[in-house]
Structure 1
Amino acid sequence: MSAFGTVFSPEMIISRFENNSWSTPQFVTADSIPMHPGAHVLHYSSTCFEGLKAFRHNDGSIHVFRMDKNVARMAQSSELLSLPKVDPTMLAAMITDIVRRFAADVPNPPGSMYIRPTHIGTEASIGKAAAPSVSSMLYVLLSPVGDYFSGGAKPLRLLLEDSARCAPHMGMVKSGGNYASALQPIMKARAAVQADQVLFCPNGDVQETGAANFLLIDGNEIITKALDPSFLHGVTRDSILTLARDRGMKVSERQLTVDELLERAAKPDCEAALSGTAAVLTPVGTLIHDGKEHQVGTGMGGNTTNALRQALNEIQWGQASDSHGWLTKVC
């Protein structure tokens, strides 16, 4: 089986912003894009992207999950990066058009069609380190993916690190630079303590990992950092918290310190998980701090994590009522 995100549909849809207006979106081959070597994105990282999924239901219909939230976040990221303003209506139409074009390639559950809208600055100028790109390119890639947990949901090992994933004012931007800045700490953690990810905790404040939001589940309560500009406002995070409230759970969005995290993690019924588009909700079994390993609960994940992931999957797959209006039918 091919690695997640390495197989692409043969075409993508693209629009260019030039002379203060967006071009009519077009379908083009997805193997390359024409771009000047002096393009702003290549030198000053004017880039943002999104990740969302389309799902096939039992009746053969195709539905995109929470497209409105991802489109809104991309518009926000573009604004915070001073990229040309994204037209949300146009972007939503681009997503639905490309998914409809390749609807036959959307896998059956637990597979899905991963959707990757991307916005990059294209102005050819290496003298604009302190100025935005006046031109840009917006495109949408598709990647059919299988079951993320085909080998089972193995509990993760997280290294707690007293540093930030990225610049504090950039955390809520879904930009490639934020992932690049987290890569070295993650690679070092894997080599040093066989950690799967780094949980960034600047000044003892539990924030997020390199590619996912962090949730602590203590009995009937979910604790996670309150939204601020320092970390990504995950769509899956929001979905899981909404489903938790639906189940009568207490949702506490507040500061969580490393000390409190480790104290609660020692409880037998405690669980921890990472939320994100690709894996939905992944159990955390071990926290590594100051050279010591701390088991989370039983160390094997837990019933609440599994139940919340299943509840979200059932909505995505059309097996449960979409009471929150999260699905957009494409065809």
Structure 2
Amino acid sequence: MNQVDWGALGFDYYKTDWNVRFYYKDGKWSEMEVTEDEYIRMHMSASCLHYGLELFEGLKAFRGVDGKVRLFRVGDNARRLRASAERLCLPVPTMEMIVEGCKEVVRRNERHVPPYGTGASLYLRPVMFGTKVGLGVKPSDEAMLIIYCSPVGAYFKEGIKPIKVALDREQDRAAPRGTGDVKVGGNYAASIYSGHHAHELGYSNVLYLDAKEHKYIEECGAANFFGIKNNTYVTPKSPSILPSITNMSLRQLAADFGMKVEEREVPVEELTTFEECGACGTAAVISPIGTIFDMQTGVRYDYGQEVGAQSMRLYAGLQDIQYGRAEDTHGWTTVVL
């Protein structure tokens, strides 16, 4: 990887050397398998291919200012993966399997961990499938867990900048009491149509409202939404929102910085009151929002074309911990190398 232009990498898959796999069959999990194979051999009638019995996670490893390689909040990702497996009635991997699998992937692919200062990182994707062969709609008592990785570049190539977002009242991302609060593939499939339409109109992302009343803000594409006003960090609370680990971290940092933190219902009318808005997730950490355009009413909410001071402080604070530039007082990072 010596010839890689790390700064030019996008958020996409780039081949690495090794991945790890676990298989569940006959009531037990296998030992960890380490392989160079990028492909999966699967029966055409496997339950994941027909009934959506699939889930995944996303987390990153960072090469720090001190040369150490750190995984960020791997335990929290493992807990969320287990919650997703429980919801889909899939065999639930142990915490140790997931965490040690992630560590092994980082160790085996050390040469693909981008150098400090490039803005790039190593993205890990644990993904799990129900593999039971059959035709009926029922739980799968056979499964496969794969953990692989890919180096990814900085989300904002020329520095963090505000994005344009379209508010869509005509399509819902996830239903109440459905699977919106777990990380399963069907939630993302449901967002493709509206996301594609927004991109055609020149918007980077879609802001969704709650599916029940269409009155409250929910997710922003594949990320959580937050707004800032009066030194308060406000983020939506709903049973159909994925509990973002990045958002959890930002809420804690906001409190550390002396801000008030509110996790609650956020009516769409409140958009007029925010001084800053953003979307947050693993890929970009924070995507500050400059404009929200309501596609159905024509109303436009403007927050300026510069990153807000509070958003930038939170972004820098989290990155400082991830890259080892600041003390990890909350125990979020795991040194692997």
TM-score range, shorter chain: over 0.9
Q: Partner residue of 1:137?
A: 144
Preserved contact between residue 272 and residue 296 of structure 1 (Cα < 8 Å): no
Q: 2:66 aligns with which of 46, 49, 59?
A: 59
- Report the Cα distance in structure 2 between the residues aligned to 1:231 and 1:8, rounded to whole angstroms: 32
Matched ranges for 1:100-115 at <5 A: 100-109=107-116, 110-115=119-124
1:225 partner letter: P
**Partner SS state of residue 286, structure 1:** strand
Question: What fraction of aligned residue pairs are identical, expressed as a percent?
Answer: 37
1:212 equivalent to 2:217? Answer: no
Q: Partner residue of 1:236?
A: 246
TM-score (norm 1): 0.94
1:161, distance to aligned residue in structure 2 (A):
2.0
Q: Partner residue of 1:245?
A: 255
1:166 partner letter: A
Q: Partner residue of 1:312?
A: 318
Preserved contact between residue 55 and residue 84 of structure 2 (Cα < 8 Å): yes
1:143, distance to aligned residue in structure 2 (A):
0.5
Q: CA, structure 1 residues 48+64, in 2 after alignment: closer, same or farther (shift >3 Å)? A: same
- Unaligned 5+ segments in structure 1 are none
**Partner SS state of residue 178, structure 1:** helix
Q: Partner residue of 2:333?
A: 327
1:297, distance to aligned residue in structure 2 (A):
2.7
TM-score (norm 2): 0.92
1:122 partner letter: T
Q: Partner residue of 1:74?
A: 81
1:121 equivalent to 2:127? Answer: no
Matched ranges for 1:151-190 at <5 A: 151-162=158-169, 163-168=171-176, 169-190=178-199
- Unaligned 5+ segments in structure 2 are 1-7
- Report the Cα distance in structure 2 between the residues aligned to 1:229 and 1:251, rounded to whole angstroms: 19
Farther-moved stretch of structure 1 (89-98 vs 289-298) = 289-298
1:293, distance to aligned residue in structure 2 (A):
4.7
Matched ranges for 1:42-57 at <5 A: 42-57=49-64
Q: Partner residue of 1:89?
A: 96
Aligned residues: 322
Q: Partner residue of 1:32?
A: 39
- Show structure 1 runs of 4+ deviating over 6 A: none
- Report the Cα distance in structure 1 between the residues aligned to 2:277 and 2:285, rounded to whole angstroms: 13
1:291, distance to aligned residue in structure 2 (A):
4.4
**Partner SS state of residue 183, structure 2:** coil
- Report the Cα distance in structure 1 between the residues aligned to 2:27 and 2:54, rounded to whole angstroms: 18
1:286 equivalent to 2:291? Answer: yes
Q: Note the alpha carbon deviations across 1:7-33, whole angstroms, 9 max, x for none.
A: 031221001001011111111124201
2:195 partner letter: I
**Partner SS state of residue 14, structure 1:** strand
- Report the Cα distance in structure 1 between the residues aligned to 2:110 and 2:199, rounded to whole angstroms: 38
1:10 equivalent to 2:21? Answer: no
- Report the Cα distance in structure 2 between the residues aligned to 1:58 and 1:205, rounded to whole angstroms: 41
Farther-moved stretch of structure 1 (45-54 vs 290-299) = 290-299
**Partner SS state of residue 62, structure 2:** strand
**Partner SS state of residue 55, structure 1:** strand
- Report the Cα distance in structure 2 between the residues aligned to 1:80 and 1:147, rounded to whole angstroms: 33
1:66, distance to aligned residue in structure 2 (A):
0.3
Q: CA RMSD in A?
A: 1.4
Q: Note the alpha carbon deviations across 1:242-296, whole angstroms, 9 max, x for none.
A: 00000000111111111122x214xxxx110100001000110111113435243
1:329 partner letter: V
- Report the Cα distance in structure 1 between the residues aligned to 2:273 and 2:300, rounded to whole angstroms: 11
Preserved contact between residue 236 and residue 265 of structure 2 (Cα < 8 Å): yes
Preserved contact between residue 56 and residue 62 of structure 1 (Cα < 8 Å): yes
**Partner SS state of residue 245, structure 1:** helix
